[in-house]
Amino acid sequence: MSETKDHNLLPIVEVEHLGVMSYAEAWDYQQVLQKKGVTARSHNRKIADESERIAIKNYLLFCQHPHVYTLGKSGSVDHLLLNEAEMKEREVEYFKINRGGDITYHGPGQIVAYPIFDLEQFFTDVHRYVRSLEEVVIATLADYGILATRIKGYTGVWLEGSPNRKICAIGVHMSRWITLHGFAFNVNTDLDYFNHIVPCGIDDKDKTVTSMAAELGKNVEIEEVKAKLLSHFCRIFDFKVG
């Protein structure tokens, strides 16, 4: 977390709870918000008069998706183990997108967070940004007595053991320091859907996926988890909710 600042000078983030939203709709919405910021940045860099500057807004979107597999730009389609007919039978959609990382799953019982942040208002450091997203989830899990960590060489949040278990996948993209995509946090997720992909392209018998429900032996209240995530977002990224 950054040094304590005057509360009035903190970045402002508008938080939106979108409920259950199709992946395509959420992706389009993210791109609209990011494009507004990128356009404003381009405008601001061409003018000298401060009064003509356009304020760049920050957003934090929370949602859940119907069953969907998404493949990042560096991923391999071979890591999707279902054909088109099998996906249709299971009512699973598929998208190839511009975030980093390989293939992952989104679905009911999973909290997806999409920060559309202007990092020039926070810090211009991609590595720190990803580590900060991980820290939000690690801190939230600690509130439930779940000890989570990072594993060297792998993005995301993990629980160490035999096997090591991934509980949150992270994939980001940015343009002119304005972020896109975010993280997928397994809360009450049906983990069977991960059996039809090579999750995040990690084909390692010592690594698998898990959820809060699997670790605690019971389902967890989604709204409560979101509230804790937001609290840690505010603390770690040092912003106020607008």
CB 65 within 8 A of CB 21: yes
Q: Is residue 2 one of the residues assigned to a domain? A: no
pLDDT of residue 8: 74
Q: How far apart are CA 13 and CA 115, in angstroms?
A: 9
Q: How far apart are CA 105 and CA 103, in angstroms?
A: 7
Q: Which of 63, 168, 200, 234 is catalytic?
A: 200
Q: Is residue 5 one of the residues assigned to a domain? A: no
pLDDT of residue 1: 44
Mean pLDDT over each residue of the chain, to the nearest integer: 93
Q: Which residues of 200-217 are buried (b: 16+ CB within 10 A; e: fewer)?
A: bbbeeeebbbbbbbbbee
pLDDT of residue 2: 43
pLDDT of residue 139: 98
**Tokens representing residue 43 in the block:** 């405008």
Q: Is residue 4 one of the residues assigned to a domain? A: no
pLDDT of residue 4: 53
Q: Is residue 82 one of the residues assigned to a domain? A: yes
- What's the structural domain count of the chain? 1
pLDDT tens-digit series, residues 93-107: 999 988 877 899 999
- Dihedral-angle region of residue 175 (phi above 0 means left; psi in -120 to 50 means alpha; beta otherwise): beta
pLDDT tens-digit series, residues 15-61: 999 999 999 999 999 999 999 999 999 999 998 898 899 999 999 99
Please identify every stretch of the chain with a pLDDT value under 70, giving residue numbers as ranges: 1-6
Q: Is residue 155 one of the residues assigned to a domain? A: yes
CATH of the domain at 236: 3.30.930.10
Which domain, by its residues, includes 168? 10-241
Q: Is residue 186 one of the residues assigned to a domain? A: yes
Task: Note if 200 is an active site residue.
Answer: yes
**Tokens representing residue 51 in the block:** 């009064």
